[in-house]
Amino acid sequence: MAYTEEELKKELETKEYEYGFYTDIESDTFPVGLNEDIVRAISKRKGEPEWMTDWRLEAFASWKEMKEPEWANVHYTKPDFQAISYYSAPKKKDKYESLDQVDPELLDTFNKLGISIEEQKKLAGVAVDIVIDSVSVATTFRETLAEKGIIFCSISEAIKDYPELIKKYLGTVIPPKDNFYAALNAAVFSDGSFCYIPKGVRCPMELSTYFRINQAGTGQFERTLVIADEGSYVSYLEGCTAPSRDENQLHAACVELIALDDAEIKYSTVQNWYPGNKEGKGGVYNFVTKRGICHTNSKISWTQVETGSAVTWKYPSCILKGDNSIGEFYYIAVTNNHQQADTGTKMIHLGKNTRSTIISKGISAGESQNSYRGLVQVNPKATNARNFSQCDSLLMGNKCGAHTFPYIEARNNSAQIEHEATTSKIGEDQIFYCNQRGIDTEKAIALIVNGFSKEVLNKLPMEFAVEAQKLLEISLEGSVG
Amino acid sequence: MLTIKDLHASVEDKEILKGINLQVNPGEVHAIMGPNGSGKSTLSTVIAGHEDYEVSKGSIVFDGEDLAELDAEQRAHKGVFLSFQYPVEIPGVTVTNFIKTAINASRKAKGLEDMPAKEMLKSIREKAAMLEIDSKFLSRSLNEGFSGGEKKRNEIFQLAMLEPKLAILDETDSGLDIDALKIVANGVNKLKSEDNAVVVITHYQRLLDYIVPDFVHVLYNGRIVKSGTKELAHELEAKGYDWIKQELA
């Protein structure tokens, strides 16, 4: 990973939260508050068919009956759901035909994010769908993908253009009633990405979505649905940023993955929502439900790098329904200052010979709290299920916390489950050793943290690995006094 | 090159160095010997600039500059190298990655660009060959699961890569078998020139058969109590440190 580091160094000029700019684009924002009318209005604004409106209303009805969960190891002031605007879109007339029609300020935002559309087209071979606040703004590469029969578009378009696929799969992995935030998302989601890979097709490029919360006082409720049909393969990347704001912004997303027989989905996330300032003021509440279902001989691999958000509540999971299916979870969570993270995964073994791997690396600094919560469940029919879990925690300083809550439920005697956990601290002797070799303390910490996270960083696609390493470095700046 | 005058240093309010005087010139090899607890490792750590040690009196001047003003990494950039008695493990960071980072950090401090990858690779290969290090070793995590001998060899590999002006070898011989000792000593000798200097810290005369010192100093109770040539090392080997203690009593 030699070139990675050189690039890193050049890019590492800025301190603090470098994505904290706000784009002044005219936007179309709903009044605050949530009721049936708002749900209907969102659906109407999106031009959705009636069945979709009904689906949302049903979700909203269940949400009203539900209570916000309190079991996670996080403490925060609960959001006032009536004080949030549930829809904010950059104002526009029609879908853009070419870049010339796009608001220059918006293009500027993309540039600051380092994802200039033009550059993307030329360089990376990454197809990008960009969701700002709630609406999908641009999807690149659609034609190239269409030649292979791959559908990659915003979920609102998919609802209109591919209703059969949506009806068949939406909400099948995460039912609208699944949990409080999932129900909220189902009721009010305003956009997100949709991806369908046809039978036997290997998607020729990494598909990528960038999410960004721009408008003050808005929540972002995107919904992502990825379907890999039999024998297909797709690698999907997701990146997230938000401007620095004093108030807490809510992000409640749902991601559903469906891997049909012999298919493989690799889903990578670099989450860098605004974490709040050094005193713990502001920042994004990141309450996300991510889940995939694996049919026979299929594989889902989650790779997650979380450096942002004030509070994170997130458990990307796999339901290993089909025989011989494989679930993987590779995870890095960095918390600094006053950040809190309660994250992990669930591996639900239903089919025979199912296998799962969990590698979790938690890095805590400042006064942050970092919890891993994982469930490995082997059901009675899941003969010869295997799981390996490894949870490593790295602490910096004396004021932070690392917690591990592994749950194991084995209801089949043939199950083999291994769990390993370690906790270590960055030692002064390690820092001095690096200093003596001419490496300053900040760089030394970055080196040690990158080394600690290596098993997971190696799972990321190359472009993302660079960004992830950079983020680790930025997130931990100033964490050793 | 290195001038230490009346150096007093303490850790956690305990004075360990009690007035060290030492002059090291370019092209010289000095050996510092002494019993356990005499302050040998403290001296090397203080020269390297560890923050936990407080210099209460005296000075260390390196290349005309008072080191008191410089952090550990700045001293490294100026050409001070310490081969650690107990090198630390850094899991997940390869030997290669670590040395690249170190070299480029020093280059950056001097206002130079990163070393081109090709040049770096060439240099790594040459130095690894000199120390009979195979390529698999280079992709292992730094010092993780290394034998005592491997750790020391890796220290000398870093020395070879960084080409410092002053190399302090703190008990580099401990944990080495005789073959490894020869390889390490041979490496150090090849790196020696008229422009650099080596300070060898050791308990035993053994290493000094291979890295031959111009001067030998005996450190006892925080002071250099005797200085001489390599014959002094032989004398110590024959008579033991008690001889010095008695002489001082």
Q: Check residue A199 and give its pLDDT.
A: 96
- The answer to whether B244 and B236 are in contact (CB under 8 A) is yes
Q: Report yes or no: B70 at the A interface, CB cutoff 8 Å.
A: no
Measured in angstroms, the CA of A422 and the nearest CA of chain B are apart by 13
Cβ B101–A5 below 8 Å, yes or no? Answer: yes
Instruction: Tell me the pLDDT band of A91, cut-offs 50, 70 and 90.
Output: low
Buried b (16+ CB within 10 A) or exposed e, A371-392: bbbbbbbbbeebbbbbbebebb
Q: Bigger pLDDT: A44 or A11?
A: A44
Taking residues A61-90, what's their average pLDDT? 79
Q: Are B131 and B187 in contact (CB under 8 A)?
A: yes
Question: What pLDDT shows up at residue A122?
Answer: 37
Report percent pLDDT > 90 for chain A. Answer: 34
CB B189 within 8 A of CB B212: no
- Residue A94 has a pLDDT of 41
B87 touches chain A (CB under 8 A): yes
Q: Residues of A with CB below 8 A from B71's CB?
A: 435, 440
The residues pairing with A259 across neighbouring beta strands, listed in sequence order, are A228, A294
pLDDT value at residue A125: 41
Report how many helices (DSSP H) and strands (DSSP E) chain B contains, helices first.
9, 12
Question: Do residue A447 and residue B93 have CB atoms under 8 angstroms apart?
Answer: yes
Instruction: Write the residue in A1, A5, A439 that is nearest to B73 by C-beta.
Output: A439
What residues of chain B, 106 to 145, have a C-beta less than 8 Å from chain A? Answer: 106, 108-109, 114, 117, 141-142
Greater pLDDT, A122 or A420: A420
Higher per-residue pLDDT: A200 or A22: A200
Q: Would an 8 Å CB–CB cutoff place A393 in contact with chain B? A: no
**Residue A474, pLDDT score:** 72
Mean pLDDT of A111-125: 46
Compare CB distances from B105 to A439, A451, A453 and report the shortest one's residue: A439
Distances (CA, A) of B244 to B18, B223, B227, B240: 17, 12, 12, 8
- Residues of B with CB below 8 A from A9's CB? 104, 108, 114
> A interface mutation test: which of B71, B73, B77 has the most A CBs within 10 A?
B73
**Closest-CA residue to A449 (of A343, A359, A366, A334):** A334
Reference A274, options A222, A310, A237; nearest CA is A310
Residue in chain A closest to B71 (alpha carbons) equals A435
Quick check: A448 contacting B, CB < 8 Å?
yes
Determine, for residues A438 and B84 on separate chains, whether the beta-carbon distance falls below 8 Å.
no
| Residue B211 in contact with partner chain A when CB distance is under 8 A | no
* This prediction's pTM: 0.79
Q: Name the pLDDT band for A471 (thresholds 50, 70, 90).
A: confident
Where do the domains of chain A lie? 2-475
pLDDT, average across residues A270-299: 85
CA-based nearest residue to A453, from A356, A333, A312, A328: A333
Nearest to A435 among B72, B90, B117 (CB): B72
Joined tokens for residue A371: 């919890």
Compute the nearest-CA separation of B173 from chain A (Å).
Answer: 19
- Top mean pLDDT of A78-82, A364-368, B73-77, B131-135 is at B73-77
Range 11-30 of B in CB contact (< 8 A) with A: none
Whether chain B has a CB inside 8 Å of the CB on A420: the answer is no
* C-alpha span between A131 and B122 (Å, rounded): 46
What one-character DSSP code corresponds to residue B70? S
> What pLDDT, on the 0 to 100 scale, is given for residue B91?
92
Distance from CA of A448 to the nearest CA of B (A): 6
Determine the distance from the C-alpha atom of residue B39 to the mean position of all C-alpha atoms in its chain, rounded to a whole number. Answer: 14
The answer to whether A407 contacts chain B (CB < 8 Å) is no
Confidence of residue A4 (pLDDT cuts 50, 70, 90): very low
Q: Which two tokens stand for residue A172?
A: 């099948």
B92 touches chain A (CB under 8 A): yes
User: In chain A, what residues touch B114 (CB-CB under 8 Å)?
Assistant: 6, 9
Chain A from 336 to 355: CB within 8 A of any B CB? none
- The long-range contacts involving A51-59, CB below 8 angstroms and separated by at least 24 positions, are A51/A163, A51/A167, A52/A159, A52/A166, A55/A170, A55/A171, A55/A176, A55/A186, A56/A186, A56/A187, A56/A188, A57/A187, A58/A176, A59/A176, A59/A177, A59/A183, A59/A186, A59/A187
- B48 closest CB neighbour out of A436, A453, A455: A436
Please indicate whether, in this complex, the C-beta atoms of B114 and A6 are within 8 angstroms of each other.
yes
Using a CB–CB cutoff of 8 Å, tell me whether A450 touches chain B: yes
Averaged pLDDT for residues A397-424: 90
Give the residue among B80, B86, B96 at the shortest CA–CA distance from B198: B80
> Is the separation of the CB atoms in A479 and A473 below 8 Å?
no
Give the pairing type, strands B53-62 and B65-66. antiparallel
Query: Mean pLDDT over residues A78-103, rounded?
Result: 61
Residue B158 contacts A where some CB pair is shorter than 8 Å: yes
- Chain A residues whose beta carbon lies within 8 Å of the beta carbon of residue B83: none
Q: In the 3-class helix/strand/coil scheme, how is chain A assigned residue by residue?
A: CHHHHHHHHHHCCCCCCCCCCCCCCCEEECCECCCHHHHHHHHHHCCCCHHHHHHHHHHHHHHHHCCCCCCCCCCCCCCCCCCCECCEEECCCCCCCCHHHCCHHHHHHHHHCCCCHHHHHHCCCCEEEEEECCEEEEECCHHHHHCCCCEEEEHHHHHHHCHHHHHHHCCCCCCCCCCHHHHHHHHHCCECEEEEECCCCECCCCEEEEEECCCCCEEECEEEEEEECCCCEEEEEEEEECCCCCCEEEECCEEEEEECCCCEEEEEEEEECCCCCCCCCCEEEEEEEEEEEECCCCEEEEEEEECCCCEEEECCEEEECCCCCEEEEEEEEEECCCCEEEEEEEEEECCCCCEEEEEEEEEECCCCEEEEEEEEEECCCCCCCEEEEEEEEEECCCCCEEEEEEEEEECCCCCEEEEEEEEEECCHHHHHHHHHCCCCHHHHHHHHHHHHCHHHHCCCCHHHHHHHHHHHHHHCCCCCC
**Residue A105: what pLDDT?**
58
Assess whether pLDDT exceeds 60 at residue A215: no
- Distances from the Cα of A386 to the Cα of A294, A375, A381, A419, B48, angstroms: 15, 13, 13, 11, 50
Would you call A10 an interface residue with chain B, using a CB distance cutoff of 8 Å?
no
Q: How far is CA B81 from the centre of its chain?
A: 6
A·B CB contacts under 8 A: 85
Residue A464: pLDDT over 80: no
Separation between Cα atoms, residue B201 and residue B179, nearest integer Å: 20
B90 touches chain A (CB under 8 A): yes
| Assigned CATH class of B2-180+193-233 | alpha beta
The pairing of beta strand A207-212 with beta strand A233-241: parallel
Which residues on chain B are in Cβ contact (under 8 Å) with A2?
A: 100, 117
Comparing A333 with A115, the larger pLDDT belongs to A333
pLDDT recorded at residue A11: 43
User: Which chain A positions have a beta carbon within 8 Å of B106's beta carbon?
Assistant: 438
pLDDT number for residue A95: 43
Strand order from edge to edge, sheet including A207-212: A135-139, A127-132, A207-212, A233-241, A264-272, A299-306, A326-335, A355-364, A386-395, A416-425
Within 8 A of A431 by CB-CB distance, chain B residues are none
Residue A61: HSE in the Cβ half-sphere, 13 Å Cα cutoff? 6
In this prediction, residues A266-290 reach a mean pLDDT of 81
Write the pLDDT tens digit of every residue in A225-261.
999 999 999 998 887 655 555 566 778 889 999 999 9
pLDDT at A96: 45
Cα separation, B185 vs A193, in Å, equals 63
pLDDT at A364: 87
Counting Cβ atoms within 10 Å, is residue B69 exposed (0-12), middle (13-18) or buried (19+)?
Answer: exposed
Residue indicated by tokens 């393969």: A233
**Cβ contact, residue pair A437, B98, below 8 Å:** yes
B232/B112 Cα distance (integer angstroms): 44
Q: Residue B57's CB: how many other CB atoms inside 10 A?
A: 14
Note the pLDDT of residue A348. 96
For the segment A150-169, the average pLDDT, to the nearest whole number, is: 90
Q: How far apart are CA B207 and CA B27, in angstroms?
A: 19
pLDDT score of A240? 62
SS3 B12: coil
- Asked if residue B219 lies in contact with residue B34, where contact means CB atoms within 8 angstroms, the answer is yes
Neighbours of B51 (CB within 10 A): 11
Task: Show contacts of B109-112: CB within 8 Å, 24+ apart.
Answer: B109/A438, B109/B73, B109/B74, B109/B77, B110/B77
pLDDT along chain B (249 residues), means of 10: 95 93 96 91 95 93 93 96 95 94 94 93 94 91 91 94 96 87 92 94 88 94 92 87 81
| Residues facing A357 on adjacent strands | A328, A388
* A143 min Cα distance to partner chain B (Å): 38
The chain-wide mean pLDDT, for chain A, equals: 80
